[in-house]
Structures are given as structure tokens and as C-alpha cells.
Structure 1
Amino acid sequence: MLAILLFFSAVAFAQQPENKDTLVKVKSLDSLTFYTQLNQNVIRQLPSEHGTYIFSGKKTEVINLAHTAADIANKTGRQVFAKIPGVFVYDMDGSGNQINIAARGL
């Protein structure tokens, strides 16, 4: 009986009273305005000619890896080539170390 009485008395005083003085330290700040420009062109075309190379008439694309959401640290080529139409990437061993890339002709 004494153990039950001690248990309920400990539960009754377990919570601390609310501290109301935290609202006194609130400080309002001025509003901020952010201006930004989102450029999601991860894939772009090569120029028609570059130096002595001629790329016109060919299907050439450049993938900017810095702007992709792919997990490049884990070597998953499927994520890198996912945005290129006509490219099929599949893993040979499941870990992404050995991949095969197939492209359909246009």
C-alpha cells in the first residue's frame, strides 16, 4: 500500500510548472527578401563546331553532373543517364560498378 502511495505521489509531482518568462526575450526582426534564379538545364547540346570537331547533324548532349540530383558517390550510372531519351542503362552486378549502356538510333 505504501509503495502504491509513493508511486502516485511521484507521478503527481513529475511535471514541472510552465515557465512563462520565455516570451519576454522575443525580439522581432525585419523581413528579408531573397531573389534567386533556378537553372535546371542539366543537359545541353554541344555547339555545331568546336575547334576542328564538327558536331552538327549528330546527337550530342553534355550532362552537367554538378546540377544533377544523382548520387554520384555510389557510382550509379542509371541516375546520370536517366534524363537522356533513348538511352538504356542496366547493371551487370547490381552494385553499379559494371554497367551496360544501350542507345537507340535516331
Structure 2
Amino acid sequence: MASNKLKITDLEFDDIKSNLKTYLSSQDKFQDYDFEGSGMSVLIDLLAYNTHYMGYYANMLGNEMFLESSSLRESVISHAKHLGVTPTSVTSPTAKLDFVFTPTGL
């Protein structure tokens, strides 16, 4: 009997790959396949990498949605504007100098 459940809570590459192999081997159509063979292994690696990267990007996107966990300057500025704060960028120091030249020995 095929299992219709795929574990999606593990977002580490090796866990994803193992879960994909377990899920596919439980399906009637894939019971006799060798998942360590080069062709099938490449496809499972591709699916696992894609899932891993998408999980990472979703996590980073979730972090940027809140001021407390934002790490990108653009996100922090956007959140600060909603709170009525207008952040300024770092500026270099300036000084006004007056030079007086007195020629000598002419």
C-alpha cells in the first residue's frame, strides 16, 4: 500500500533526500527502482537541493518581515518608516577651515 504522506518538516538536505527516497519507494510505481543509481540519484539530489534552497529563502523572507529579526538595511528602514521614524545614513564628518598664508623670503 502506498503512503500518501511526505514528511516536509525536515529542511536539511540529507533529511529531504532521505524523505524523498522513503516516499518514492513506498509508491507502487517506484517500488522496484534503485534510488542510488546515477540517473535516479541525480533527480532526487535536484529535488532535495531545490527544496532545501526554497526552505532557506522562505525562512529568510519570514525573518525580513519583522523589525526584530530583519538583517537587511532596506527591510529595517521600511519597518522604521511605518513607525514614523526617518532613518538617516552615515555621513562623513565635515569641517570648515580658514587658511592664512604669509609669504616669507620674497
**TM over 0.5: same fold?**
no
Q: If the length of structure 2 is used for normalisation, what is the TM-score?
A: 0.27
TM-score scaled by length of structure 1: 0.27
The structure whose Rg is larger is: 1
Structure of greater relative contact order (alpha carbons < 8 Å, 6+ residues apart): 2
Name the one with the larger helix percent: 2
More strand by share: 1
